[in-house]
């Protein structure tokens, strides 16, 4: 007797039969392609396209390639290209009480040229660059960003202000900026061009902790508990190099060609009696053909 669990075996055919692709199928596929093409052309003519942008019409642009039929092809420029819409307001030194002291010291005797020396020369160069930038605006109400010029590191090193005066002057300057208060400082840019970072302004954590800080060393704490650098808003910038070291022609330094170097390292700063730096100077004197060292002498 058969068990109720016994089911008749399924019968499978040895081959899976599929319909062959006949000439009729091929003709139908070609007709479908042709119909799609003509319908697309019909819709293109019925609905005019948007006029090309001025960027595509700029046949002198290096991003435009001309083709044989008289047309052209273009691709996006690097970054934002010519489409970047940015307005930066640069505070004038006479605009806010105290700003001139951060630029020239309490007596106003420190010049911008004197502050171009050393690593902190970037605070001067970035300031001058923005003054001449095509993104600069003189209308605060249309600005996206605000640049606060200050040569505080240079002023401090040259005796123009001490640490207490720098802190007090920064606080006084910020208290006179209504646009700074409007955003909590989020759209204001500060440059602190040395290893001390924003710690040069002792109260930075209270007043500019939301602002954009440009600094060359994000890991330095200047013997404080924390670094003033915030990865989410701040920017690491290169330390300044003396213009005479990089200009073409008769430069201040004539280093070995890269093809003759096995190792390459760069240091800009002062020896300050530190063992590693003194050892580097010793090696440069001992092996002048292998180690090139440019010693920058500060005038203060």
Structural domain count, the chain: 2
Are 232 and 182 part of one and the same domain? yes
Are 197 and 269 part of one and the same domain? no
Q: Which residue has the tokens 């003759």?
A: 260
Is 1 domain-assigned? Answer: no
275 lies in which domain range?
254-286
Are 207 and 122 part of one and the same domain? yes
pLDDT digits (tens, 9 = 90+) for 37-75: 777 777 777 665 554 444 444 445 555 545 445 555 555
Enter the DSSP assignment of 194. Answer: S
Are 128 and 223 part of one and the same domain? yes
Residue 91: count of CB within 10 angstroms of its CB: 20
pLDDT digits (tens, 9 = 90+) for 138-147: 999 999 999 9
Is 12 domain-assigned? Answer: no
Are 218 and 265 part of one and the same domain? no
Could you give the C-alpha distances from 62 to 67, 73, 76, 270, in angstroms and in order?
A: 14, 11, 11, 44
For residues 246 and 225, the answer to whether their CB atoms sit within 8 Å is no
Is 50 domain-assigned? Answer: no
Look at residue 275 in the predicted model and tell me its pLDDT. 77
pTM, two decimals, is 0.63
Q: What is the distance, to the nearest Å, from the Cα of residue 257 to the centroid of all Cα atoms in its chain?
A: 29
pLDDT digits (tens, 9 = 90+) for 223-234: 667 788 888 999
Are 232 and 141 part of one and the same domain? yes
């Amino acid at each position: 007797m058969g068990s109720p669990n016994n089911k008749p075996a399924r019968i499978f055919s040895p081959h899976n039969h599929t319909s062959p692709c006949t000439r009729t199928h091929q003709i139908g596929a070609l007709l479908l392609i042709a119909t799609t093409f003509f319908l697309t052309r019909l819709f293109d003519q019925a609905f005019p396209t948007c006029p090309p942008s001025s960027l595509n019409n700029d046949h002198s642009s290096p991003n435009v390639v001309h083709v044989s039929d008289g047309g052209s092809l273009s691709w996006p420029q690097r970054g934002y290209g010519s489409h970047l819409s940015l307005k930066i307001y640069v505070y004038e030194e006479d605009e806010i009480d105290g700003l001139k002291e951060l630029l020239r010291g309490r007596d106003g005797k420190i010049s911008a040229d004197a502050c171009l020396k050393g690593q902190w020369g970037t605070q001067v160069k970035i300031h001058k660059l923005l003054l001449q930038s095509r993104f600069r605006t003189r209308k605060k109400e249309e600005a996206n960003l605000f640049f606060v010029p200050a040569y505080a590191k240079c002023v401090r090193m040259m005796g123009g202000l001490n640490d207490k005066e720098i802190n007090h002057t920064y606080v006084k300057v910020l208290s006179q900026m209504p646009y700074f208060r409007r955003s909590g400082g989020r759209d204001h840019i500060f440059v602190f061009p040395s290893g001390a970072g924003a710690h040069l302004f002792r109260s930075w954590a209270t007043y500019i902790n939301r602002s954009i800080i440009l600094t060359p060393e994000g890991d330095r704490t200047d013997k404080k508990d924390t670094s003033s650098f915030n990865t989410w808003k701040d920017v690491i910038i290169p330390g300044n190099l003396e213009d005479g070291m990089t200009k073409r022609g008769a430069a201040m330094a004539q280093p070995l060609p890269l093809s003759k170097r096995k190792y390459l390292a760069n240091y800009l700063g002062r020896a300050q009696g530190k063992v590693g730096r003194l050892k580097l100077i010793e090696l440069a004197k001992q092996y002048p053909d292998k180690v090139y060292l440019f010693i920058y002498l500060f005038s203060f």
